[in-house]
Amino acid sequence: MWSLASGLEGRIAIVTGAAGGIGSACLRAFAGAGTHVVACDVDRARLQTAFASMSREPGHLSVVADLTRPEDVEQLIEQTMSAFGRLDILVHTAAIHLRLPFERVDEPAWQRYMDANLKSAFLVSRAVSAPMRAARWGRIVHFTSLAAFTGGFQPQTSVVYSTTKGAILTMTRSLAHVLAPDNVLVNAVAPGGVLTPMAASLSREALDA
């Protein structure tokens, strides 16, 4: 019978946004399945805490990187390949939600959303695709959101967040077509409300929606 462990044991997986609620849960799930995990986040202190929550078995790596910066993305891939010699899986969970009312989203806020949520997803996907295509095996999973379909639990403060998540969904579809011939599969997960620190400010009505 198939199990999570039998499918992932010995694989090399990068998890971005690893200090967040969903990212840190992915770390623990992968480590429990025998996967060698590269935990990546921009927040050094929170990343250290999340990394410590994993299995204490050796064979994992922690990398502080700002995935909106191409040079940081390159460093992430270089450190992964240097440590493990290959790269099998990317799980990209990194994202922000500023929860600004629509009329208060100025150009800097718009750009911050686009960089953190969409640009990072593109840059890291492009970077991991090269070693995956060379190996003719890879799995890329993007975390989008139910907001990509609904406009968000609180639409007044979710216009730009939902826009970025919808764009990631479309990018995932396109990447799936481009990379499939090299046995690199690309999928997206669109969770609803999840009790993470990012969701802490949501109203009870929004959480129950």
Domain boundaries of the chain, sorted by first residue: 12-207
**Helix ranges, 136-183 (H):** 147-150, 159-179
CATH topology of domain 12-207: Rossmann fold (3.40.50)
Q: Over 70: is that where the pLDDT of 207 sits?
A: no
Spatial neighbors of 186 by CB under 8 A, at least 6 apart, are 125, 140, 141, 142, 172, 175, 176, 179, 180
Q: What does the pLDDT average to over 130-144?
A: 98
113 is catalytic: no
- The predicted model scores a pTM of 0.88
Tens-digit pLDDT profile for residues 66-114: 999 999 999 999 999 999 999 999 999 999 999 999 999 999 999 999 9
Catalytic entry in 72, 131, 161, 190: 161
pLDDT at residue 148, as a whole number: 87
Q: What does the pLDDT average to over 33-37?
A: 94
Q: Over 70: is that where the pLDDT of 198 sits?
A: no
Q: Over 60: is that where the pLDDT of 200 sits?
A: no
Both tokens of 12, joined, read 């090399």
